[in-house]
Structure 1
Amino acid sequence: VEDLNMGIEMIEMPIVRESDGLAMSSRNAYLSVEERKKAPILHEAIKYAADQVRNGRRDAFKIKREAIQIIRKYPEIKIQYFEIVDEKSLVPVSKISSKVIVAAAIFIGKTRLIDNEIVNIGDKI
């Protein structure tokens, strides 16, 4: 929007979540009962990574590796991507020095779930 000078204002809004943290989505209806029980692991891993950034850690590679291990608790879940990216450019970062987005996509069975969290490095938990 900014690069193309579109005259549109982007407003960040919180993601609406189920009580267990899973982002509300029509895709959730495709999950079996067992898959649905495992689905909140996506948000758990993203929240872990975001909390690490808020707590002052800046090595994106190490944070990402640890967060992926949380998802690997369920080997049947396939990780499509798990990234920590610059909030404006969406380019993956190695050292966190400004606002970032922790973003991920996984497959549980045939259902693709996506989620993200925007993190200001000055925020505290």
Structure 2
Amino acid sequence: MSDLTLETVSEIPALRERVKSRRQQGATIGFVPTMGALHAGHTSLIEAAGADCDFVVVSIFVNPTQFGPDEDFEKYPRVLEQDLAKCAAAGADLVWTPDTSSMYPDGFSTHVTVKALSRILEGATRTNHFQGVTTVVTKLLLSCLPDIAYFGAKDFQQQAIIRRMCLDLNIPVEIKTCPIIRDTDGLALSSRNAYLSAAEREAGLSLSRALRLAEEKIAAGETDLEQIKTAMHELLQATPLLKLDYATIVDPMTLEDITTIQPAMVALIAAWVGATRLIDNCQINPASPG
């Protein structure tokens, strides 16, 4: 790391001072919040921030409050040295690695909740998950106060909730959503993919196949979304090792289930493959609805 111009800080005052100094020099600030275990999806966000902004901050913090009691907080991969090397290679200027005590001080009792959007889809299965996400993202954004924060489209519901949160709370940060990065076989990149066996990974490919099926049917002129959803379900439910949670097509703003073709739609899937939860989605914009 000695030959790479990457700074690291752990304390919030040091972060703020560094950002303030660069802003006073006229720099625009880009911010990429992560939980580490970085892959090409994360580095694409860092690169996007570098293309837009003069100074790029990456946070690495495995946030305990967004994990349920039976989820993988303890075994979530923590590979800081590898992450720092990837941040430097992707063009980050500063990596912020707060500890839990600075994010959640003794007596912490304040939470941020985006009610309607957090209760459906992932929120229906993962109780309090999005409360943990929105609370920590609020703290991350207010600690850094960037001009633009970058999120991946794979967590489609998450970015929609964060947009709503920033609008509702007048948080002066632009939220930019970047495209899903996929492996060559079509599997959406995720830090949790490391948990998958070879057979489980093969099963996980059914998520992207079901999304392609929906795209193809709509492109071919199919207008009955219920039939398309049924076809997605059938493909996924026929996959060994896969337990489907949901597969649906929704409005991209409200995330509410839709039954008729509209100009902008998003197909969303969540499933357990073995002990690993996978999510995927694709945005569908038919050229001529109906």
Would you call these one fold, judging by a TM-score over 0.5?
Answer: yes
Secondary structure, aligned partner of 2:277? strand
1:57 aligned residue (210, 222, 226): 222
So what's the TM-score if we normalise by structure 1?
Answer: 0.87
- How do 1:27-42 residues align onto structure 2 when only pairs under 5 Å count? 27-42=192-207
Give, in angstroms, the shift of residue 118 of structure 1: 0.6
RMSD: 1.8
Find the aligned partners of 1:90 and 1:56 in 2 and give their Cα distance: 23
1:100 aligns with 2:265: yes
Q: Deviations over 1:66-124 (max 9, x none)?
A: 1111112324311001110011111000111220000000001110000000111118x
Larger relative contact order (CA 8 Å, sep ≥ 6) = 1
Give, in angstroms, the shift of residue 15 of structure 1: 0.6
1:90 aligns with 2:255: yes
Q: Would you say the 8 A contact 2:204–2:242 is kept in 1?
A: no
**2:183 corresponds to which letter in structure 1?**
E
Give, in angstroms, the shift of residue 9 of structure 1: 3.4
Find the aligned partners of 1:7 and 1:47 in 2 and give their Cα distance: 36
Find the aligned partners of 1:22 and 1:32 in 2 and give their Cα distance: 14
Find the aligned partners of 1:109 and 1:8 in 2 and give their Cα distance: 38
Find the aligned partners of 1:99 and 1:56 in 2 and give their Cα distance: 15
Secondary structure, aligned partner of 2:213? helix
Identify if the C-alpha distance between structure 1 residues 47 and 8 changes in structure 2 by more than 3 Å, giving closer, same or farther.
farther
Q: Would you say the 8 A contact 1:56–1:121 is kept in 2?
A: no
Q: Would you say the 8 A contact 1:102–1:119 is kept in 2?
A: yes
**1:76 corresponds to which letter in structure 2?**
L
Give, in angstroms, the shift of residue 37 of structure 1: 1.8
Find the aligned partners of 1:8 and 1:60 in 2 and give their Cα distance: 35
In the alignment, structure 1 segments of 5+ residues that lack a partner are: none
Max radius of gyration: which structure? 2
Secondary structure, aligned partner of 2:212? helix
1:81 aligns with 2:246: yes
Give, in angstroms, the shift of residue 22 of structure 1: 0.2
In the alignment, structure 2 segments of 5+ residues that lack a partner are: 1-162
1:21 aligns with 2:213: no
Identify if the C-alpha distance between structure 1 residues 50 and 7 changes in structure 2 by more than 3 Å, giving closer, same or farther.
farther
Find the aligned partners of 1:109 and 1:21 in 2 and give their Cα distance: 19
Give, in angstroms, the shift of residue 7 of structure 1: 4.5
Secondary structure, aligned partner of 2:281? strand
**1:81 corresponds to which letter in structure 2?**
Y
Question: Hey, which of these two has a bigger chunk of helix by percent?
Answer: 2
